[in-house]
Structure 1
């Protein structure tokens, strides 16, 4: 046909149906189905299943689970003993340690006591061998009463020690009973002065190994006696225990006497 004979609607309309409607069906609907729905199924739902649920399972639940060392620590803590049992075990250990310490202390004390006792017995044996003051004497005191060594035996009392000081002269020619009575008053009321004949005094001096030698007399008949100056400590058994010279102080002598009296062991 001629172009002028063609109806415009016949051209426009088919084009509208072939292009516009077709395009709407081929592009828009198809695009909606191929892109929008597909995208929604491929991206949105898939993303929701691949990321969100997976993330929830991989990250969120994983955060709630413990690592192996944490699980080991949890099991270790769960296996801790009961606090009451732990305290009981601690008290038991302390009690055992205390008993062991007391046992060792008692053993040390026993061994030390036995050692000290052996030392005292050895000293007694040595004193016996020394043979100092083992004999007896018979002298007159400052009141004129006859005294022997047996009069002073067995007089120690650990609670109330009656220390008895005794003075024996080495110059019986000038130190008679009356002279001794005046002499002892200048020292102590309990001091007992002893004198006797020259033979009796020399015998006592030899028994205690005391040296005494009178010097030459002057024009007036006076003389000086050179002699040993010692203080002897004698036990209640009459055994010589110790001696003190002028180098010992009063406190040293007192401490020594008290120590001997404290550790005194009566001989059987």
Structure 2
């Protein structure tokens, strides 16, 4: 009859513990691998959209749904702000004869939009002219084409422009001069960001770079 020695009996619990330990270790590595794969998928599909962002622009703590306005576009058609619901609107009040701030701002907006790649069409840049005497639809069309053909220019009477600008806290005032002699216009240089639902979300003071703007837009287009 076969008998089990005390030594072999003593090693059996040790072997069982080894098996349990190896099984636990294997399961742990399996779970770690699955979690790593999940993280990779989240990163490739836009992990940043799941993380509350810290925006570069000046964020409104309580976003406001802004009133609508209708002005004449650079194509001569009547265009309303509400026509762009479903897109992110970058709203800027400027003028084509602006010597420095306006063209510099439009260049940054163009570059920021281009950085979005396939999401670029989700962002619409609109410049509302604050110079109704000189900025005809034709001049607006010619001016904006130098920056991006997708940009939209709007204009109207002085009364219409004041009504459109005031709710946004935008100020503009022409300095002395005539159409013949030329003149400059003091105006708010901020870019206003309106989300897909028509809420004013943030603003960019003059001097923000295209990289900073594009970083914010990358979150907003996925919001």
Shorter-normalised TM-score: what interval?
A: 0.5 to 0.7
Query: 2:80 pairs with 148, 170, 190, which one?
Result: 148
- Any idea what SS the aligned residue of 1:247 has? coil
Aligned to 2:201: 241
Structure having the higher strand fraction is 2
Residues of 2 paired with 1:114 and 1:153: CA distance?
23
8 Å CA contact 1:143–1:181 kept in 2: the answer is yes
Query: 1:139 pairs with 71, 74, 95, which one?
Result: 71
Q: Which runs of 5+ in 1 are unaligned?
A: 1-73, 107-112, 118-122
The aligned runs of 1:242-261 (5 Å cut-off) are 242-261=202-221
1:184-214 deviations in whole A, cap 9, x for unaligned?
Answer: 1221111110001111111111122112111
With normalisation by structure 1, the TM-score equals: 0.54
Aligned to 1:214: 174
- Any idea what SS the aligned residue of 1:254 has? helix
- Any idea what SS the aligned residue of 1:126 has? strand
Closer, same or farther: CA 193–115 of 1 in aligned 2, 3 Å: closer
Closer, same or farther: CA 219–208 of 1 in aligned 2, 3 Å: closer
Q: Which runs of 5+ in 2 are unaligned?
A: 39-48, 54-58, 89-116
The aligned runs of 1:114-125 (5 Å cut-off) are 116=52
Closer, same or farther: CA 124–100 of 1 in aligned 2, 3 Å: farther
1:159-196 deviations in whole A, cap 9, x for unaligned?
Answer: 64412211111111221212212211221111110001
Residues of 2 paired with 1:219 and 1:148: CA distance?
28
The aligned runs of 1:24-43 (5 Å cut-off) are none
Question: Based on CA coordinates, which of the two structures has the bigger radius of gyration?
Answer: 1
Q: Aligned pairs, how many?
A: 174
Query: 2:165 pairs with 182, 195, 205, which one?
Result: 205
Tell me whether 1:126 sits opposite 2:62 in the alignment. Answer: yes
Tell me whether 1:172 sits opposite 2:132 in the alignment. Answer: yes
CA apart distance, 1:226: 0.5
1:220-263 deviations in whole A, cap 9, x for unaligned?
Answer: 5432110111222221111122222332111221111112222x
8 Å CA contact 2:190–2:206 kept in 1: the answer is yes
CA apart distance, 1:137: 0.7
Structure having the higher helix fraction is 1
Query: 2:20 pairs with 89, 104, 107, which one?
Result: 89
Aligned to 1:5: none
Residues of 2 paired with 1:115 and 1:231: CA distance?
25
Aligned to 2:112: none
RMSD: 3.7
With normalisation by structure 2, the TM-score equals: 0.63
CA apart distance, 1:216: 1.8
> Higher relative contact order at CA 8 Å, sep ≥6: structure 1 or structure 2?
2
Closer, same or farther: CA 241–95 of 1 in aligned 2, 3 Å: farther
